Every structure is written in structure tokens, then in C-alpha cells.
Amino acid sequence: MSKYKLGFISDKDIFNHVKETVQQYSAGIDLKEFNKNIIDPIKLTFDAKVYGRTMEEVVASECIRQMDKTNNNHIGYFHQNLFRYASNGWVVPDQGFDVVNEEKHIFVELKNKHNTMNSAASQKTYMKMQNKIVRDSHATCMLVEVIATKSQNKTWVVTVDKEQFNNDHIRRVSIDKFYGIVFGDSLAFAKLCKVLPLILDDVIKELGSATNQNTVFSELAAISPNIMKSLYLLAFKTYEGFDNF
């Protein structure tokens, strides 16, 4: 194993944490997962015709999109659960806030991108933080964003019904600033990003590369040799007229 020399986390811990994420990474999809939220064959038909693509190409793209969405969730857990390895009172609770330090009265909601929350979600999160600082006068709540618009640690301002709310104990913090708070090293996040490709190389060397196991096409073919027909039957098989589509 290579020596990563991060300082704020041991080589063994960061290797195992990356390895766990890689093992969860989605490299395959079946028809049940593909149709978990009921696929929209009309949308796929438009995509195929408007963009001049075959239905097979459109379905393949949808498979990749769905796997990518799942993997984004795994990356979120990668960011959150790394703080399990921090000392000095930092914990990752099973419920409530994403990261907590009761000793320092810091309570964190962690988001991967600055634009992942709509207005309603932002307001709900802000209200959760307001409630916390009302019950704990020493509390500081943070919305920590991995991909923020810029490096920052500032008061979070939220607009509710055209009225702005702000409190210095409710902060909007980029991940680099939060690493500095947790690990006492302002460069900690940059150090991790710099060495991450090496860690991944070592993990892949041990585990081997993921193989894509996509059974969607074979399972659709079992419904009908015509993939478009299969997609429509998948969504509308109980609808009037689709028994002889």
C-alpha cells in the first residue's frame, strides 16, 4: 500500500474508506432496478426520434443515467462517513444531522452540490437549524457543500415568503473550510483530492476493475423482440388497448 501522508487520517483508514465506496459503486443494472420508478416510454420515444437515435441507444443512456444517480448517492456517503475517522468528538449519527460534534455544539447538514436543494428543501433545512439553535443557545448549524460556488464560511441567508432570514449561528460553509474546522488543517481537503487518484489505483489493484452487468436488454427482449413495444408494455400493460399493442 502506498503512503498517502494525509496527516489527518491514517493510510489504512482512508484506503478502507475508499475501498468501501468502490465496492458499493454501481456497475450493473437489471430491469427491476431500471423500472423502479416506472420508466416513461413516451419520453424515451421523443428522445429517440428528436435526437435521431435508436431506442437501444436511448435505453442504454437511461441505464447509465440511473447508475450515475445511484453512484452520486454513494459519493455523498463517502463525504459524510469520512468524518467517522475524525477525532475530538466528531460523529456521524444514524439520524438527525449528518455530522455532529456535541462538545463543540456544531451540527451539520452535508450536500454534494450547492444547487441540489430547491427552495422548499432549503427552507425546511433552515427551519430545522433554527429549531436547533433555539433549543441549544450555544449551537452553530452549518450547511456544508462539497461543490459550493466558492470557498466560504458565511451566514446563510434564506428567503421565505419574500422575507429574508439570517442568523450568525446558521452558516453556509464550503467543504474545504469545514475540513479546516474538523481536522485543524486548512489544506486537508486539497490534500485528499490530490492523493485520491493514487488511493483509487491501489484499491482497484486489489479489487480489480468493475464489470458492467446490464441485463435490461435481455429482460426486455423476453417481453417482446421489439424493444419499443417492451417498454410500452412495461409501463402500460394494464391499460386499455395494450393487451394487443
**Same domain for 174 and 217?**
no
Q: Tell me whether residue 45 is in a domain.
A: yes
**Same domain for 101 and 160?**
yes
- Mean pLDDT for all residues in the chain: 91
Whole-prediction pTM: 0.84
- Position of cell 456544508? 144
Q: Residue 142 pLDDT > 90, yes or no?
A: yes
**Same domain for 205 and 179?**
no
Q: Tell me whether residue 199 is in a domain.
A: yes
Domain count, the chain: 2
Domain that holds residue 199: 6-85+195-245
**Same domain for 72 and 97?**
no
Q: Residue 34 pLDDT > 70, yes or no?
A: yes
Q: Residue 76 pLDDT > 70, yes or no?
A: yes
Look at residues 135, 160, 183 and tell me which one is the last residue of a structural domain: 183
Q: Tell me whether residue 159 is in a domain.
A: yes
**Same domain for 100 and 127?**
yes
Q: Tell me whether residue 97 is in a domain.
A: yes
> Are 21 and 77 contacting, i.e. CB atoms less than 8 angstroms apart?
yes
Residues 6+ apart with CB under 8 A from 55: 44, 45, 48, 227, 228, 231
